[in-house]
Amino acid sequence: MKEIQKNQNLINAEKQLLLQNTALRDNFCIKLLENEFKNETEIEKQLHSVKLSLNNSLIRVLVSNSGNLNGSLLFQKYAIKLIETAFREYPCAVFAKDSAMIAMILNITPSLEPGIDTLHMLCGKIIAQLKAKKLMGMNIGIGDVADNLLHAQASFLCALESLSYQLYQTQQKIFDSSIISRVPAPNLSPDTKINQELADAIYRSDLPEIDRLLYHFFHSLFYVEIPSPNYIRGMCIFLTIDVQNMLLSYFDEINRLYIDVPYVEINKLTSFRKIREWITNKFYTYSEYIKQNCQDKKDPIIQKAKAYIKDNLYNKIKAEKVAAHVGLSENYFTFYFKKKTNDNFKSYIQTLKIEKAKEHLKTSNILICELSSMLGYDDYRSFNRAFKKETGITPSEYQQKYQPGI
């Protein structure tokens, strides 16, 4: 019995040592990809210590993900073993970069140089084997050749960028740098006009208009046939955050729905289709919430607009300035003002100005031309016409009515 226990202890100790060695090797490789070594001497020393088959010469980095099985330890172990078997003829190190990614550092040597076609062939075999086992498919990104291990990060970043093109969900499973778009992204500011129109459409619950504007936005992203996925994600993040901020100026309670962080959520999504659906669903949700919660409440936009008008009644008031003050486009503001107050914006301004004029005419001997200028009219004739339209008599007649001696 003691002998059996002794043997079991030895087996456990060996397993523990193996796990420790594996952890050391994986940590060394991860530090290479994250560019944590200062020089080649440091790398050579560590390389000897962890006893990898790699040498400090030309290398490529390959990265892979495994779809919905990301985070499955059993799957990762199986996939790593599969990759090691496929590349057994080549000096390499295969390891889990994190819970969602497997990486491989592969030596390129004169005698055993896997060219890009060979790499595609070997990666294709791995993917086919996974499919045959009815496991979740794997996508693989292949980095460009780097001079040595000190420059492993450059190949790693290239592999990641290549792999990012899986965003477009084509039949392609293996991506190398030939897919990367070399056309610079448009050096333009994001189209905030569309963002404003989207916020307007969301606020008035105009779903067809939301769909139309989003179609235009997503279509505009394709300045080339396959643009950089980072550009796509960045523009979608900006759109979402900008529209959220605009909606806050309409209805500040909507921030209760801003639970998800657009940067985090959009970067999690694995396809352009999913990004598009996520944004569309978010905007629909905002629209429905505003529709349900703005009923039978004092409208903050109208209150803000009326306060601005009251403070500027002695100036020439334009719809454009009031709209800017409340954060709406001019066209939508006048539409919204009419919808909420059942009053035309220009008529509302004119009524307030005439009421203010009546107060002055009742209590002072102010000249009509002075009063018209004070209230922001271009000339007293325009003021006269507006006053008579509201009251049925001219300003002079009104003043005489209340102050006969003038």
> Which residue, among 160, 266, 273, 263, has the nearest Cα to 218 in the 3D structure?
273
What pLDDT score was predicted for residue 296? 41
Classify 31-179 by CATH class: alpha beta
Q: Quick one: which H or E segment has residue 106?
A: strand 101-107
Sheet bearing 174-175, strands edge to edge: 92-98, 101-107, 59-65, 139-142, 174-175
What pLDDT score was predicted for residue 301? 86
Question: Tens-digit pLDDT profile for the chain (406 aa)?
Answer: 666 665 565 555 555 655 677 788 999 999 999 999 989 999 988 888 888 888 888 999 999 986 544 457 788 888 999 999 999 989 999 999 988 899 999 998 766 667 889 999 999 999 999 888 877 778 999 999 999 999 999 999 999 999 999 999 888 999 999 999 999 888 656 567 888 899 989 988 899 999 999 999 999 999 999 999 999 999 999 999 999 998 887 777 787 788 888 989 999 898 999 999 999 999 999 998 888 776 545 677 888 898 899 899 989 899 999 999 998 899 999 988 888 877 889 999 998 999 899 888 888 888 888 988 999 888 888 889 999 988 899 989 888 888 776 5
Torsion of CA 303, 306, 312, 314, to 10 degrees: -150
CA distances from 358 to 54, 276, 291, 370, 383 (A): 92, 56, 39, 14, 12
What pLDDT score was predicted for residue 364? 85
What pLDDT score was predicted for residue 68? 46
CA terminus-to-terminus distance, the chain: 125
Q: Express each pLDDT in 163-222 by its tens digit.
A: 999 999 888 999 999 999 999 888 656 567 888 899 989 988 899 999 999 999 999 999
Classify 300-402 by CATH class: mainly alpha
- C-alpha–C-alpha distance, residues 330 and 318, integer Å: 10
DSSP-assigned states of every residue in 256-282? GGTTS-HHHHHHH--SHHHHHHHHHHH
Q: Chain centroid to CA 323: how far?
A: 27
Predicted TM-score (pTM) of this structure: 0.67
- C-alpha–C-alpha distance, residues 39 and 32, integer Å: 11
| Amino acid letter for position 65 | N
Q: What is the DSSP letter of 168?
A: G
Residues ≥6 apart with Cβ < 8 Å to 354: 386, 387, 390, 391
What pLDDT score was predicted for residue 10? 58
What pLDDT score was predicted for residue 229? 95
What pLDDT score was predicted for residue 70? 46
What pLDDT score was predicted for residue 359? 87
